[in-house]
């Protein structure tokens, strides 16, 4: 190394940022700066204030006090349009999209080009959209409606949109929570490209391996304050986790062996043309059974059909050995079967209702009997589950949309726990959840199976499947390609079945 290492200049600097919401101090005297041409990762537990800080940079929230400098000049960012003028682009954590909108409308939202007659120049919109899609190798048509796309497709579009702004500061709030491994690699290549062009990237993720792969600098937030900020090279994974949760974390997977009983839930030869084929599996009392596979393997589709969200062509579902007919989710719930969906925006939360209502909505019969509502009981039970899962909310009356992403997920989980189901299908239950809270969810899962419940866990995170499951089914292209016993668990074996050398196609 020759002489002093060159420290790149500061692109954006925030100092003394304070921000309160009713009942919470989200940010407390935060200082944060990002160097030009670097990736700065922001870590912290759910509700630590990460998204709030980013929304301040993006002009969505106004700080109560504090200053922002861009290229050394004090600026006031009043709204996202102005943020864009300062070269800031943000990919939001919770994808908020209009299902009826087309891809081209989405990409050009808020900046539709107009011709000399003041009319929207749709020809340019179309040709530019086609150019973007081709450039990124995406197989969509510009007029395709967003509702026809998967979560991962929409996430990818958001990323492309931000890049297309030619922004100098790109904020990515958990961009990889719903995209495939291949897309993650594409994203990381994009990030490298952006860095080379001098763009600063602020990256938020609960996936620590990602953080250590791409971070130049890391800042850790806890309860709205910065606990540390330094070059990634000076930090280790354990150190960051300890800074985040405020204590050392050992034994990440609190799985205990419980007696395994009789089969509680069985699926036999479930078929849905073009989606999945010949799906047969069973789950026994006290078991946690995993479903591994690459994104698009058909795991979510299978679970949706079982839960009555989608229809299927043939096959049988048995609970306690008795065939049940599940045509809609209410049939499943009546049979003590519940499912936590992977896409909480689309199928999970009711944004403008309180956290309490969101939690109790599927268990109202438990709180309304003898001709009257038992509000106190409702409150007690909801509070109990919130306490067990460490849900961070100012009150039970707070609207769920005001909660941080991870805490919304915990409320949804509490909703199903409250139902006291016998069989739980959890589709990516820890997506977007911080390490500390993940541990709480795992512990809750362990408690549930101890009570004799059964759990089906779909997850894309192999370490958590290996750490928590008794058996793991692997799917590939719509069929079950393997069932692994505990002694056979390894990432390599799972991946072998998940990528499948046999290449069976669904008809
Ligand atoms: N619009 C809002 N109204 C009220 N409270 C809010 C609002 N936005 C955020 N908060 C609160 O501010 C705190 C910080 O939330 P924030 O979304 O910034 O957390 P986060 O670090 O991004 O968490 P996660 O990892 O779960 O996404 C939380 O207590 C949250 O409930
Ligand atoms: Mg957030």
Share of the chain above pLDDT 70, in %: 94
What is the band of 135 on the pLDDT scale with cuts at 50, 70, 90? confident
Dihedrals phi, psi of 19, to nearest 5 degrees: -150, 125
Q: Tell me the per-residue pLDDT of 359-380, one tens digit each, with 9 for 90 and over.
A: 998 888 888 888 887 888 889 9
- pLDDT attached to residue 96: 66
Going by their DSSP bridges, the two strands 322-324 and 314-319 should be labelled as antiparallel
Category of 35 on φ-ψ map: left (φ > 0), alpha (ψ -120 to 50) or beta: beta
Task: Please tell me the distance between residue 334's alpha carbon and the centre of ligand 2 in angstroms.
Answer: 34
Angle (CA) 360 330 303, round 5°: 100
What is the band of 94 on the pLDDT scale with cuts at 50, 70, 90? low
List the beta bridge partners of residue 483. Answer: 473
Of the segments 94-98, 137-141, 393-397, which one has the largest average pLDDT value? 393-397
Which is the closest atom of ligand 1 to the Cα of 44?
Answer: 21
Tokens of 435: 């390490």
For a substitution probing ligand 1, which of 52, 349, 435 has the most ligand atoms within 8 Å of its CB? 52
- pLDDT attached to residue 485: 96
Residue 433 has pLDDT above 70, yes or no: yes
Name all residues whose Cβ lies below 6 A of ligand 1: 21, 24, 26, 44, 46-52, 93, 392, 402-407, 434
What is the band of 507 on the pLDDT scale with cuts at 50, 70, 90? very low
Residue 328 has pLDDT above 80, yes or no: yes
- pLDDT attached to residue 504: 45
**Contact in structure between 454 and 260 (CB atoms under 8 Å):** no
Q: Which ligand is nearest to the CA of 49?
A: 1
Dihedrals phi, psi of 334, to nearest 5 degrees: -60, -25
- pLDDT attached to residue 1: 42
**Contact in structure between 339 and 328 (CB atoms under 8 Å):** no
Dihedrals phi, psi of 368, to nearest 5 degrees: -130, 100
What is the C-alpha separation between 298 and 137, in angstroms, rounded? 23
Which is the closest atom of ligand 1 to the Cα of 221?
Answer: 21
What is the band of 345 on the pLDDT scale with cuts at 50, 70, 90? low
What is the C-alpha separation between 70 and 83, in angstroms, rounded? 11
Q: At 296, is the secondary structure helix, strand, or coil?
A: coil
Task: Please tell me the distance between residue 204's alpha carbon and the centre of ligand 1 in angstroms.
Answer: 14
Residue 506 has pLDDT above 70, yes or no: no
What is the C-alpha separation between 296 and 183, in angstroms, rounded? 12
Residue 461 has pLDDT above 90, yes or no: no
Sheet with 73-75, side-by-side order of all strands: 24-35, 10-21, 65-70, 73-75
- pLDDT attached to residue 93: 67
Q: Mean of the per-residue pLDDT values for the chain?
A: 88
What is the C-alpha separation between 335 and 326, in angstroms, rounded? 9
Q: Tell me the per-residue pLDDT of 284-309, one tens digit each, with 9 for 90 and over.
A: 999 999 999 987 789 999 999 999 99
Residue with tokens 């861009």: 70
List the beta bridge partners of residue 18. Answer: 65
What is the band of 247 on the pLDDT scale with cuts at 50, 70, 90? confident
Residue 74 has pLDDT above 80, yes or no: yes
- Tell me the mean pLDDT in the region 210-222: 95
Residues in Cβ contact with 11 at an 8 Å cutoff, skipping those fewer than 6 apart: 34, 35, 36, 70, 71, 168, 169, 200
Residue 2 has pLDDT above 50, yes or no: no
Burial class (CB in 10 A: 0-12, 13-18, 19+), 34: buried
Task: Please tell me the distance between residue 401's alpha carbon and the centre of ligand 1 in angstroms.
Answer: 9
End-to-end CA distance of the chain: 59
**Contact in structure between 460 and 489 (CB atoms under 8 Å):** no
Q: Return the number of other C-beta atoms located less than 10 Å from residue 291's C-beta.
A: 26
Q: Tell me the per-residue pLDDT of 218-229, one tens digit each, with 9 for 90 and over.
A: 999 998 999 999
List the beta bridge partners of residue 476. Answer: 479
Residue 57 has pLDDT above 80, yes or no: yes
pTM score above 0.85? no
Residue 182 has pLDDT above 50, yes or no: yes
Burial class (CB in 10 A: 0-12, 13-18, 19+), 477: buried
Q: Tell me the per-residue pLDDT of 477-505, one tens digit each, with 9 for 90 and over.
A: 999 999 999 999 998 899 889 987 544 44
Q: At 203, is the secondary structure helix, strand, or coil?
A: strand
Residue 18 has pLDDT above 70, yes or no: yes
What is the C-alpha separation between 184 and 179, in angstroms, rounded? 7
Residue with tokens 């961070």: 392
More confident position, 131 or 389: 131
What is the C-alpha separation between 319 and 423, in angstroms, rounded? 9
């Amino acid at each position: 190394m020759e002489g002093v290492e060159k420290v790149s200049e500061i692109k954006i600097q925030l100092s003394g940022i304070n921000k309160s919401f009713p009942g919470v101090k989200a940010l407390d005297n935060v200082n944060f700066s990002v160097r030009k041409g670097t990736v700065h990762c922001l870590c912290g537990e759910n509700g630590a204030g990460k998204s709030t800080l980013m929304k301040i940079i993006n002009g969505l929230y106004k700080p109560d006090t504090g200053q922002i400098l861009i290229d050394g000049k004090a600026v006031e960012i009043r709204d996202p349009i102005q943020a864009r003028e300062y070269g800031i682009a943000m990919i939001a954590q919770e994808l908020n999209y209009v299902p009826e909108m087309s891809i081209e409308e989405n990409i050009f939202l808020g900046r539709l080009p107009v011709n000399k007659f003041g009319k929207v120049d749709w020809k340019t919109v179309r040709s530019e959209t086609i150019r973007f899609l081709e450039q990124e190798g995406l197989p969509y048509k510009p007029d395709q409606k967003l509702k026809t796309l998967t979560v991962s497709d929409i996430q990818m579009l958001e990323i492309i949109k931000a890049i297309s702004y030619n922004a100098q500061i790109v904020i990515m709030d958990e961009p990889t929570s719903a995209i495939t491994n291949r897309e993650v690699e594409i994203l990381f290549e994009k990030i490298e490209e952006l860095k080379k062009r001098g763009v600063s990237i602020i990256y938020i993720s609960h996936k620590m391996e990602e953080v250590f792969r791409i971070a130049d600098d890391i800042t850790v937030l806890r309860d709205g304050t910065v606990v540390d900020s330094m070059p990634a090279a000076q930090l280790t994974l354990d150190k960051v986790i300890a800074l985040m949760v405020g204590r050392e974390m050992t034994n990440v997977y609190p799985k205990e062996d419980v007696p395994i009983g009789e089969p509680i839930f069985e699926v036999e030869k479930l078929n849905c043309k073009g989606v999945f084929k010949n799906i047969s599996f069973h789950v026994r009392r006290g078991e946690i059974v995993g479903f591994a596979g690459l994104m698009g393997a058909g795991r979510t589709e299978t679970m949706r059909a079982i839960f009555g969200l989608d229809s299927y062509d043939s096959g049988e579902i048995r609970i306690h050995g008795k065939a049940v007919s599940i045509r809609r989710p209410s049939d499943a719930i009546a049979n003590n079967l519940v499912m936590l969906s992977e896409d909480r925006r689309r199928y999970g939360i009711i944004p403008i209702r309180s956290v309490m209502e969101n939690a109790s909505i599927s268990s109202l019969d438990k709180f309304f009997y003898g001709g009257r509502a038992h509000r106190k009981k409702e409150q007690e039970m909801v509070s109990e589950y919130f306490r067990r899962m460490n849900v961070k909310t100012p009150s039970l009356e707070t609207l769920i949309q005001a909660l941080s992403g991870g805490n919304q997920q915990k409320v949804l989980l509490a909703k199903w726990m409250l139902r006291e189901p016998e069989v739980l299908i959890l589709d990516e239950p820890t997506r977007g959840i911080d390490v500390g809270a993940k541990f709480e969810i795992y512990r809750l899962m362990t408690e549930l199976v101890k009570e004799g419940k059964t759990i089906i866990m779909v997850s894309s995170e192999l370490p958590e499947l290996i750490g928590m499951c008794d058996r793991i089914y692997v799917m590939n292209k719509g069929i079950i390609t393997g069932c692994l016993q505990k002694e056979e668990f390894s990432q390599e074996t799972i991946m072998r079945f998940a990528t499948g050398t046999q290449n069976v196609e669904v008809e």
